[in-house]
Amino acid sequence: MRTGMGPAPRERRTGPRGYHRARLAGTTPGAYTPAAALRPTMPPRLASALAAVVLAATLAGPVRADFVFGDYVFTQVHVPDQFITALRFAPDGRLFTTELITGRVRVYADTSTAAPSSVWAELPVRWGDGERGLVGLALHPQFADSPYVYVFYHPAGTDFGRIARLRDAGGVGVDFAVIRDSLPGSEAVHHGGRLEFGPDGMLYVTRGDQGDWQLSPLTTGTEGRILRLTPMGRPAPGNAFGPGNPSYAIGMRNPFGLCFDAATGRGYFTDNGPNCTDEVNVLFHGANYGWQPLWTCDAVPEGTIPPLFTFTPTVAPTGCTVYRGARLPALHGSLFFGSYNDGTLYRVPLDAVDPWASGPLEAFVVSESGSVLDVTTGPDDLLWLSGGAGIYKIRPFEVVNAAPGAAAGAPLAVAPNPSRRAVTFALGGRAADRLEVLDVTGRRVRAWDGPLAGEVRWDGRDGAGAEARPGVYFARAWRGGTADTRSFVRLGP
């Protein structure tokens, strides 16, 4: 019995015909150089570097908050003091996040501002070695009627993983219940732990091989595979390997990203390789993805499903999403996934009919957060990311708050643009009642009261005399209740 994910493709046994080696658009096939080779990175294995990067993230100050790339603006929205492994939005617009070290589930009630979060729940977690902690997060697909939040974590003082759920009531988590317990976790690495509800309403769970590749190709057990469970944690009906078996697909090493396309129902996941061949895969019912004893780099063993794309050297691919929003139309229908090693958000335009016709792969943006752990689509139809140093979103580069016809009737000019030092605002022939400089969050950085005519020079400092940091800004001139706005870019020293 299939479960809405579609049939597995015809068998593909040879690498060159079966999959793409990861490469940037316009480069020579097989010659792809990941962003990791262009800047200092963590060691290639996700597990071995995790503890050090988490510690650095918790001690470091804010990184550069916003910058323009192409037609988009990368903006830091929140600067939490912990390492955020996953983020999901509720239908009412609240943002839920998980913290690896503290075991806290936090909620941001207002994501339109930099308002602080509140602790929604706190779980006693084991952390300090490898990949253990609070890792996975999912919200019930009928959250408005069934307000349950699901988490994957490693309880303190134990050697296993656990899936639990809590009910959202009054802004906190209540009615804690374990729905799947004692998932093998004696090894410090290769736990997986990503949670996602599929279009069939079932809960999908990624599981690493716990460092034992002999377990992955087995149809029994819970290691090196993706599980499919009911919302109560039981093996879902229709799984590939018989009644009572929780496994949906097998043959994986350490899958750390899982997402479904809302338009097609197709699932995708990322899998971390050893020192080669990180993978981006299409999820199929009953499929084997080839991780097994005596595996070699780029191997596609007979009878297994080849990846869509691979990375060598490794980048440690993480959380993913398929963008189907309206605010970023050029990105509609694209798969996005993060990289732990080099902080890059990657993009793959998807083919809705034949996933192997998807591509090309591109390094969409380097986040400068040190890592990208998760990515999702917000209720504002923008891309939201969690990284080692904060929560970010990607928005279109556009002029905001400009009244129709204002530019023609009362022109406002900014020069030089971009600029590293002072800028001049030319107000044209009509006096302004007020002139403001705003940052990308809408916060007023500097203001001058009128009447103002001719030109106003801004020295790059805010009202308190502190130098404004590099980023995107907006100059807004008010005349008789009408605002004329121009965007400009302030560069670093």
Domain assignment present for residue 6? The answer is no
pLDDT at 412: 86
Asked whether residue 444 falls in the same domain as residue 350, the answer is: no
pLDDT at 441: 78
Asked whether residue 346 falls in the same domain as residue 413, the answer is: no
pLDDT, average across residues 404-433: 75
pLDDT at 431: 81
Domain assignment present for residue 36? The answer is yes
Asked whether residue 368 falls in the same domain as residue 413, the answer is: no
**Of all residues in the chain, what percent carry a pLDDT higher than 90?**
59
pLDDT at 398: 52
- pLDDT level of residue 297 (50, 70, 90 thresholds): very high
pLDDT at 455: 84
> Which value, to the nearest 10 degrees, does the dihedral of the CA atoms of residues 277, 278, 282, 287 take?
60
20 pLDDT exceeds 80?
A: no
Residue 486 maps to which CATH number? 2.60.40.1930
Kindly report, residue by residue over 251-279, the tens digit of the pLDDT: 999 999 999 999 999 999 999 999 999 99
- pLDDT level of residue 66 (50, 70, 90 thresholds): low
- Cα 46 vs. chain centroid, distance in angstroms? 16
218 pLDDT exceeds 50?
A: yes
Kindly report, residue by residue over 27-55, the tens digit of the pLDDT: 222 222 333 332 223 333 444 444 443 43
Domain end among 365, 396, 427: 396
Domain end among 360, 378, 396: 396
Beta carbons of 125 and 133 less than 8 angstroms apart = yes
Asked whether residue 325 falls in the same domain as residue 440, the answer is: no
Edge-to-edge strands of the sheet including 225-229? 195-197, 203-207, 225-229, 247-250
Asked whether residue 367 falls in the same domain as residue 420, the answer is: no
How many domains does the chain fold into? 2
Asked whether residue 27 falls in the same domain as residue 147, the answer is: yes
Domain assignment present for residue 7? The answer is no
pLDDT at 82: 83
7 pLDDT exceeds 60?
A: no
Q: Is 467 or 350 the better-scoring residue by pLDDT?
A: 350
Residue 275 maps to which CATH number? 2.120.10.30
Other CB atoms closer than 10 Å to residue 3's CB: what's the count?
Answer: 19
Asked whether residue 388 falls in the same domain as residue 436, the answer is: no
Looking at every residue in the chain, the average pLDDT score rounds to 83
Asked whether residue 375 falls in the same domain as residue 452, the answer is: no
Closest among 434, 450, 449 to 485, alpha carbons compared = 434
Asked whether residue 345 falls in the same domain as residue 292, the answer is: yes
Please compute, for residue 230, the number of CA atoms within 13 A of its CA located in the half-sphere on the CB side: 9
Residues, the chain, total? 493
pLDDT at 81: 66
401 pLDDT exceeds 60?
A: no
pLDDT at 77: 86
Domain assignment present for residue 175? The answer is yes
Kindly report, residue by residue over 90-109, the tens digit of the pLDDT: 999 999 999 999 999 999 99
Kindly report, residue by residue over 144-156, the tens digit of the pLDDT: 999 999 999 999 9
Domain end among 396, 425, 440: 396
Secondary structure tally for the chain: helices H, strands E: 3, 33
Closest among 309, 273, 254, 253 to 32, alpha carbons compared = 309
pLDDT at 397: 67
Q: What are phi and psi of 408, to 5 degrees?
A: -75, -40
Domain residues for 441? 406-490
Can you say whether residue 286 is alpha, beta or left, with left for phi > 0 and alpha for psi between -120 and 50 degrees?
left
R_g of the chain computed on alpha carbons: 24
Kindly report, residue by residue over 113-166, the tens digit of the pLDDT: 777 899 999 999 998 778 899 999 999 999 999 999 999 999 999 999 999 999
pLDDT, average across residues 269-292: 97
Domain assignment present for residue 159? The answer is yes
Domain assignment present for residue 49? The answer is yes
Asked whether residue 189 falls in the same domain as residue 330, the answer is: yes
Closest among 393, 389, 398, 390 to 377, alpha carbons compared = 393
Q: Under DSSP, is residue 406 helix (H, G, I), strand (E, B) or coil?
A: helix
Domain assignment present for residue 347? The answer is yes
Q: Which of 6-10, 22-26, 117-121 has the highest mean pLDDT?
A: 117-121
Q: What are phi and psi of 420, to 5 degrees?
A: -100, -15
pLDDT at 210: 95
pLDDT at 349: 98
80 pLDDT exceeds 80?
A: no
202 pLDDT exceeds 50?
A: yes
Asked whether residue 337 falls in the same domain as residue 468, the answer is: no
Domain assignment present for residue 40? The answer is yes
Asked whether residue 463 falls in the same domain as residue 371, the answer is: no
| Least confident piece of the model among 24-33, 48-57, 185-194, 231-240 | 24-33
Other CB atoms closer than 10 Å to residue 125's CB: what's the count?
Answer: 24
475 pLDDT exceeds 70?
A: yes
Kind and range of the H or E run holding 450: strand 444-452
